[in-house]
Structure 1
Amino acid sequence: MKINRKLMKSDERATFELRALYQQYGYTQFKMGKFEEYELYVRNKDFIASDSIITFNDAGGKLMALKPDLTLSIVKNYHHVPGYVEKIYYSENIYRASKSVHSYKEILQTGLECMGDIDIYNICEVTLLAAKSLAVISSDYVLEISHMGLIKALLHPLEDEIKEKIVKCIGEKNLHEIHEICRVHAIDHHIERSLEVLVSTYGNYRKVISELKKLNLTNGAKEALDELDTICGVLAANKLARNINIDFSIVNDMTYYSGVLYKGFVNGIPTSILSGGQYDKLMERMGKKAGALGFAVYLDSLDRLEPYEKMYDFDVVFLYDEDSDISQVLKEAKTIRDGGSTVLVEKTIPAKLTYKRLVKIENGEVRTLERND
């Protein structure tokens, strides 16, 4: 049976099309259960976006949790094969406080992970798929990109406590506080100047990267910037540059993330619906000898993109009675459905049902009894 995508809700249609996109690029589906040992989230609490976790004791008394995150479970079950990159996608529910209703909710999340001996090709491919994922949902989207490797390289000479303060300020675009921290701790003026450009420059990747290349950068910072330039160049080659912004206020914990970071937005939804990045440090912390990156698309807010409320429950209500030729009723109803309409076949009209057209077979022909469109 051919699927009529017009009848799908936004999240259903997005799930269907995202799966097809990921499969097209060679990603295989990863399935998992709904529960995980709570201890996994305790050990990695800073990695999880929400500290509100639904827990319960299983039959053996072990403390379990409804999964608030999928990446940790995927990494936990990953086995490294040298020279190989494992590419998987998922479409599963997570359980956390929803951004849209501010209460516990079962949230459908679709995304992908690329794990193993990843290289610049893999990073470019995942970034490309992040942009294409947003395009599936809406043509009016923005993918914002940052790079923790560049930020880490700039802050390398500093003590960890100062690094954390500055990273927080970068996330808040608090340039005044960055200058104050640099003054109090007598931080080198080259670092201060680099941080100033990092915070104040935003938008088109060519403009941002051009400004950063004027700075006196370390070799590590230059390598990260060159990688970012290559990634954005691939997006531009795929005619996606106009939907891409560089924004270094997208920051994350340096104990987990090491490279590119993403946040994705579509017009009509005030919060990000896509997030992710390169999390080599998480792999290392969990004893995995591999790199990794990926992203998740949060589908619980897509109902805001519904173009309109359904005016009718069905396009056509097809009435029949005891004297009707059932074979003809089935045939004529199929003909209407094949034309793209929804058809409900009933003996009587259900109460409060709305429809565009009411039809019935009379004298061997389908006749319209009522129209409401």
Structure 2
Amino acid sequence: MIIKKLHTPEGVKDYLPSECILKTKIENNVSKVFKSFGYVPVKSPTFEYSDVFDNKGSVSDKNLYRFVDRDGSILTLRSDMTPAIARIVATTYSDKKMPIRLSYIENLFRHTVNYQGKLNEFTQAGVELIGAHSISADVEVLVMAIKAILSSGVKNFKIDLGHSDFLKGVLEETSLDDENIMMLQEFIADKNYVAVNDLVSQSDISGDLKYIFNELPFLIGDLSVLNSVREKNLNKKSLDAVDYLENIYNILKELGFEQYVSFDLGVLGSMDYYTGIIFRGYAEGVGFSIVDGGRYDKLVKNFGADYPAVGFAVKINDLMQVLKTENTESADILVVFDDESIVSGFKYAEALRNAGRTVEIGLSGKNLEENKAYAASKNINKIVAVNGKITEIDLDNNEEKTIDIESLLNKEAE
């Protein structure tokens, strides 16, 4: 029998020091990217009325954490920042303040299938550009997504770029009834291509459209993917989407980011949610996307205001998995002292911290060998011993020398 007090519930985890250091580093670097583009931070409550999230955003209602408040209200833990920001914008900002640029780093809560380390509580960092509907707005968000990932230290990744109108246009041309169209959407969203092919093969649709559906798993890659579908008999909606994707790619190429971009014409997301570009970023080392984004011009309207919007969310925990490390950043110096030198020892440690060093106080008593062993275990390569005099011990070279605090501070400042 599991002793529950010794374990965390399924889908949540502790963060050990090395993970905390890495997580904080990623979040700080990503925040700097957001700030450099003029985005300002916003926070929402950890839980809200369920109406904020029900049938809104890209998260299925079945994945929400719901509970009942004392007054009988149904509340939901924050599952997605985008609907929360849509509510904030609709209730707070006027037309004169558009466009607005908002950013966030928040923990989210979703019921997930718990495999390969997928968490029910996780952290996302993202932006929302509200009140702008243009190719420049879409490019800005894509460039930010690329730079945010690069700032984390992940270098080998691709962002698969698609457009919601491509498949919408294809589905319109099938002349299938609403029930079959909904089934096709679900199959495509679930990447159940066997079911897609079965349904299409039994339907009276053109050869060109059957080609698109049969090739959906393979409509991923460079510009040749766009050229291959242009040869088919597609309607204006689908062809305009293809042209738009190529225009975005050409701009990103001029900006020097083309190496991070490919195309995925089979990306669907929620047909009722996305209204333009859709993108997912993938990196070696994880089986999930590390960034999700796109245009969602209808969402804010659910809260009483009609503003176009585009944004993305970087998945901090998945970036951590790509960058997973066993190395914990440690202090630079271990200051040790005897009982008679406590005040002097703390003063010297503080002087070193003021000089920009990271300093630990040795708590292993006056036994120098024990302090050396402790320092080695923490990858600290320098000890400063205070016991009436100051001795600097270089553990890498096993050298000791007596110094004064001024020379030590001057040396550390160089």
Q: Would the TM-score normalized by the shorter structure come out above 0.5?
A: yes
Q: Deviations over 1:47-83 (max 9, x none)?
A: 3157233333334231212111111111123236179
Q: Which amino acid in 2 is paired with 1:273?
A: I
Partner of 2:401: none
Q: Equivalent residue of 2:62, what SS?
A: coil
- Structure-to-structure mapping, 1:1-373, within 5 angstroms: 9-44=21-56, 47-49=58-60, 51-79=62-90, 81=95, 84-97=98-111, 101-102=117-118, 104-105=120-121, 107-137=122-152, 138-157=154-173, 158=175, 159-171=177-189, 177-204=195-222, 206-306=223-323, 308-310=325-327, 314-324=331-341, 326-327=343-344, 330-331=347-348, 334-335=351-352, 338=355, 341-346=358-363, 348=365, 353=374, 354-355=377-378, 356=380, 357-361=382-386, 364-368=389-393
* Aligned-partner residue type, residue 76 of structure 1: R
Distance 1:249 1:330, change over 3 A: farther
Structure 1 residues 110, 364: closer, same or farther in 2, change over 3 A? same
Partner Cα distance (1:102, 1:311) in 2: 23
CA deviation after TM superposition for structure 1 residue 223, in Å:
1.5
Distance in 2, matches of 1:226 and 1:217, equals 12
Please state how far the C-alpha of 1:324 moved relative to its aligned partner.
Answer: 2.8
CA distance in 1, matches of 2:118, 2:230: 42
Distance in 2 between residues matched to 1:266 and 1:334, nearest whole Å: 43
- 8 Å contact 1:332–1:366 — kept in the other structure? no
Any conservation in 2 of the 1:150–1:220 contact (CA below 8 Å)?
Answer: yes
SS in 1 for 2:95: coil
Give 3-state SS (helix, strand or coil) of 1:182's partner: helix
1:306 to partner: Cα distance: 4.7
> Contact 1:170–1:248 at 8 Å: present in 2 too?
no
Whichever residue aligns with residue 30 of structure 1, its letter is V
> Using the alignment, how far apart are the partners of 1:60 and 1:11 within structure 2?
37
Superposition deviation, residue 362 in structure 1:
5.1
- 1:82, 1:116 within 8 Å by CA — same for their partners in 2? no
> For residues 183-240 of structure 1, what are the alpha-carbon distances to aligned partners after superposition, in whole Å with 9 as ceiling and x for unaligned?
4221123322344455433212x22122222222222222111111111122222222
Aligned residues: 365
CA distance in structure 2 between the partners assigned to 1:248 and 1:188 by the alignment: 19
CA distance in 1, matches of 2:210, 2:356: 65
Counterpart of 1:123 in structure 2: which amino acid?
D
Whether contact under 8 Å (1:110, 1:299) holds in the other structure is yes
Instruction: Indicate conservation of the 8 Å contact 1:359/1:370, yes or no.
Output: no
Please tell me whether the aligned partners of residues 296 and 308 of structure 2 are also in contact (alpha carbons under 8 angstroms): yes
Letter in 2 for 1:253: S
- The one-letter amino acid paired with 1:124 is V
Aligned partners of 1:40 and 1:7: how far apart in 2?
32
AA aligned opposite 2:47: F
Question: Bigger shift: 220-229 or 166-175?
Answer: 166-175
Measured in 2, the distance between the counterparts of 1:255 and 1:122 equals 21
Higher helix share: 2
Counterpart Cα distance in 1 of 2:72 and 2:184: 43
Identity %: 20
Secondary structure of 2:311's counterpart equals: strand
Between the aligned partners of 2:218 and 2:311, the Cα distance in structure 1 is: 27
Q: 1:339 to 1:73 in 2, by over 3 A?
A: closer
* 1:268 counterpart SS class: coil
1:138-158 CA deviation, whole Å, 9 max, x = no partner?
011111111111111121133
- The question of whether the paired residues in 2 share the 8 Å contact of 1:361 and 1:367 is answered with no
Aligned partner of 2:28: which letter?
F
Q: RMSD over aligned Cα, in angstroms?
A: 3.3
Structure 2: runs of 5 or more not aligned: 1-17, 399-414
Shift of 1:42: 3.1
SS of the aligned residue for 2:220 comes to: coil
Query: Which one-letter code corresponds to 1:29 in the other structure?
Result: P
Q: TM-score, normalised by structure 2?
A: 0.76
Deviation at 1:313, TM superposition (A): 5.6
2:107 maps to a residue whose letter is: N
Deviation at 1:88, TM superposition (A): 0.9
Counterpart code for 1:368: I
